[in-house]
Structure 1
């Protein structure tokens, strides 16, 4: 399998999982969020990733989140399911469920917490990616798992050569290291990284790369048209959309992917609540955002033009499901 076996590209939200105030999985809000993404024209969706709080869900809840996503999206955009786990057997069980549910792909980081070395990372992905026929996305997330694929020379290239691997999501905080990944593997597999800025545009147009998978999709009104402009090779339009996206994202997320006002997931869900979007509540150990931090987020939403942009969107038509 290689990059031409999938059409994955553009702007994808890494979707949050909505929970009620009491901590239950909010299935109605989850469906509403997926419908919002479809209306916004995103090019794919990642579920049960880090932003989806996979770490606070039971295995049964992770499976239910997957089933609802596949049902609600109904083939209109790719649904890739996060199967990150501490052991290969647990990740394989989730991947096999995703395949049976009709997902379009699976994704995992290296096992969290255990600080695996290069050979252990390779062995993990070789086992998990080969357990199903799904296209597989390798996720490099050093901040979350304390293991950096890019720190091991040649490892990204070895992973890209695995039979089921079709993409790498590189979320290192080191932008030049991410570009090294693009140079090393983009001819073989899709690469999702940090491209939603003017430097990223130059990379997309000249070096390679395929898209962004963005925590929550808050910036979709700016990021979707950015990638549409990139596809047209319309640099002027893409630069304008990148600047609007940057006026939002740079004031909420630091270059190392930490949040400015709070932890990234509570910050995201607070912003979605302020915008009337169905992000739901966080689960412990995460805590909700309140007070001055909440007012700071509100100011960013207003001053970036996102609140106004969303207000100008047409009201969704009534949706009926059989």
Structure 2
């Protein structure tokens, strides 16, 4: 069963990639290596099988397998949040129950999407999921699935077991408002990688993001800098991260993250179609852009920039 309370889940939490092999099969060995690498880099937890983990490109059984492998490899060292979202409430409940039995510390879900569901449909979806296990539920406010207004976030917070939100929106005043109006123990995780500093300034308990698998050292430094009151240091690291992210977004950025992990010696494997892996030519172009960023800032202490 779970090892951590929801209030223990703080800090830098990578939205974990899922390594696939050349034939698009889940690669357990690579997954275990990635987990150990990121824990050694100082991350404070993991968020599994979400968008970054290509969860919607996997079958439910594949998603369950990923959760089992990661929980086993983590072995209680850091908290694990399993994303169990699907359009179907029935599928999500099945994933939630399996994640609970596997031993995750919390579950999370995007709202049901594709059809334009009414607020009452979405509320009932979270109510059903939250009642399916004793685990805390972290709702997910993300543009891809449709953003919630603050009043609806407050309404969702009234559901038993809804204990927090992954807030991937840019209205960061709502992070502060959630802590002030819902309660200090309602956990808020800033989900915009480019705005980690802003999220933490606005009282986010932690940051969850795609690029933390590739830039774990940068974001751990940002988190520690903010906690130590070293705001100018955090701001510089954030600027470097933004430049790296913008260079990566010219391609299928999950492929860039996985390629960059390979350069660092911790192979992230391949993406699953319809995403495209980087060609050798594209890899060299990305490296060239990263070198320009390294030279522009004169940095020598960021792992991915040292690896090229």
Contact in 1 for aligned 2:168/2:192 (Cα 8 Å): no
Distance across 1 between alignment mates of 2:191 and 2:64: 29
Q: Map of 1:53-202 to 2, 5 A cutoff?
A: 53-143=54-144, 145=145, 147-150=146-149, 153-172=150-169, 175=170, 177-184=171-178, 185=182, 187-193=184-190, 201=197
Cα distance change, pair 99–66 in 1 and its aligned pair in 2 (3 A): same
Q: Map of 1:209-288 to 2, 5 A cutoff?
A: 209-217=204-212, 218-231=214-227, 234-236=228-230, 238-253=231-246, 260-288=249-277
Distance across 2 between alignment mates of 1:191 and 1:113: 26
Distance across 2 between alignment mates of 1:141 and 1:311: 27
Distance across 2 between alignment mates of 1:283 and 1:307: 33
Distance across 1 between alignment mates of 2:148 and 2:304: 41
The secondary structure found in structure 1 opposite 2:172 is helix
Task: Kindly state the Cα deviation for residue 202 of structure 1 after the two structures are TM-superposed.
Answer: 6.1
Distance across 1 between alignment mates of 2:290 and 2:25: 28
Distance across 1 between alignment mates of 2:159 and 2:53: 26
Output the aligned Cα RMSD: 2.6
Q: Deviations over 1:258-317 (max 9, x none)?
A: x5211332232233233333211011111112266433421343344487532899xxxx
The secondary structure found in structure 2 opposite 1:235 is coil
Cα distance change, pair 149–88 in 1 and its aligned pair in 2 (3 A): same
- Structure 1: stretches of 5+ with no match in the other structure: 314-322
Contact in 2 for aligned 1:271/1:297 (Cα 8 Å): no
Cα distance change, pair 68–170 in 1 and its aligned pair in 2 (3 A): same
Cα distance change, pair 170–50 in 1 and its aligned pair in 2 (3 A): same
TM-score, length basis structure 2: 0.86
Task: Kindly state the Cα deviation for residue 186 of structure 1 after the two structures are TM-superposed.
Answer: 5.7
Cα distance change, pair 109–129 in 1 and its aligned pair in 2 (3 A): same
Task: Kindly state the Cα deviation for residue 168 of structure 1 after the two structures are TM-superposed.
Answer: 0.4
Runs of at least 4 residues of structure 1 off by over 6 A? none
Distance across 1 between alignment mates of 2:157 and 2:243: 31
Distance across 2 between alignment mates of 1:208 and 1:21: 42
Cα distance change, pair 71–194 in 1 and its aligned pair in 2 (3 A): closer
Distance across 2 between alignment mates of 1:148 and 1:99: 27
- Structure 2: stretches of 5+ with no match in the other structure: none
Distance across 1 between alignment mates of 2:102 and 2:27: 20
Q: Deviations over 1:58-93 (max 9, x none)?
A: 211111100111111111110000101111110010
Distance across 1 between alignment mates of 2:199 and 2:60: 39
TM-score, length basis structure 1: 0.83
Give the length in aligned residue pairs.
294
Deviates more, 1:102-111 or 1:186-195: 186-195
The secondary structure found in structure 2 opposite 1:212 is strand
Distance across 1 between alignment mates of 2:278 and 2:92: 31
Cα distance change, pair 186–310 in 1 and its aligned pair in 2 (3 A): farther
Cα distance change, pair 239–269 in 1 and its aligned pair in 2 (3 A): same
